[in-house]
Amino acid sequence: MAILLLSLLLSADFYLFTSFRGNGETGLYLAVSGDGETWEELNGGRAWLPPQHAGQLMRDPFLVKGPDGLYHLIWTWGWRRDQMGGKLQIGYASSPDLVNWSEQRAIPVFENEPTARNAWAPEMVWDESKKEWIIFWATTIPGRFPDTEGTGDEGYNHRHYAMTTKDFRTFSAPRLFYEPGFNSIDASLFEAGGRWVMVFKDERRNPVKKVLKLAFADSPAGPWGEPGEAISRDWVEGPSPMKIGDWWYIYFDKYAKPQHYGAIRSKDLKTWEDVTDRLKFPAGHRHGTVIRIDAAAAERLRGARR
């Protein structure tokens, strides 16, 4: 009985949340939870993984475990091209155990699109049918979608772009990944009920939207259907989905003051309830992503100090 109980405890689900602080200049932060609602910051609240390169940010960190057994991390390296030495790039590192990490390196994007302004909030998904990663993010290319110019902040008019890789060394050329018909950012994918689901932020300011919406596809590569109605309140971003029990949680960063983290949840992806009042996050927790880990990994991380 004791052995069975220990086995059940070690196999229990835990959840790991990545985040950044401030503008992302201090690096990657981690928090762990046993129920997806109360989150314990790791490493005494200090950065788990600081930036290795001068001027590098580590915003919007996305973490996923691949079929190779490695944890792969990508992030927003810098705010705009004109603040990044004229280059657009996203950050990448990997780890076998979440404690020991590879060298951080930049992945260039839009090298042949000199007017592309930015590359924000990259995420990725493993396409099992093609045995490759799809990396996707939001970019503004001035003049590309003239009908919606002027609907965003500071001249931004984002769409979702993607490229593929098998080894994180060579990459396909970026392609348009999703065009919902309006300025949008912060896409995240999950599979539910035999369909692929994209949750993303409607980034329009004129008129104000700033809400989360869903789109559906039969494959993680798309094509994606028409966007649905808003599923969240406004002024939220950075959605991160996770199935916990019978519920789909979508966590979000309520970035307008007063900034805080929150979540909505649903059993059918149609009817949503806001459960923000049930959640407890470390102070300053910002736009990140959730993965499922086991109890052994949770204890290893709790015991590690960087």
User: What pLDDT does 4 receive?
Assistant: 28
Percent of the chain with pLDDT over 70: 96
Residues 263-284 have pLDDT tens digits of: 999 999 999 999 999 999 999 9
Q: What average pLDDT is seen over the chain?
A: 94
Residues 285-298 have pLDDT tens digits of: 999 999 999 999 99
Average pLDDT over residues 32-41: 98
User: What pLDDT does 305 receive?
Assistant: 75
- Listing DSSP states for 99-130 in one string gives SS-PPPEEEE--TT-TT----EEEEEEEETTT
User: What pLDDT does 6 receive?
Assistant: 38
User: What pLDDT does 171 receive?
Assistant: 98
Average pLDDT over residues 9-31: 90
Residues 113-129 have pLDDT tens digits of: 999 999 999 999 999 99
Mapped onto helix, strand or coil, the DSSP state of residue 92 is strand
User: What pLDDT does 7 receive?
Assistant: 40
User: What pLDDT does 217 receive?
Assistant: 98
User: What pLDDT does 119 receive?
Assistant: 98
Q: Which has the closest alpha carbon to 225: 272, 162, 179, 268? A: 179
Q: Which has the closest alpha carbon to 219: 254, 184, 251, 189? A: 189
Average pLDDT over residues 149-164: 95
Q: Which domains does the chain have, with CATH numbers?
A: 2-303 (2.115.10.20)
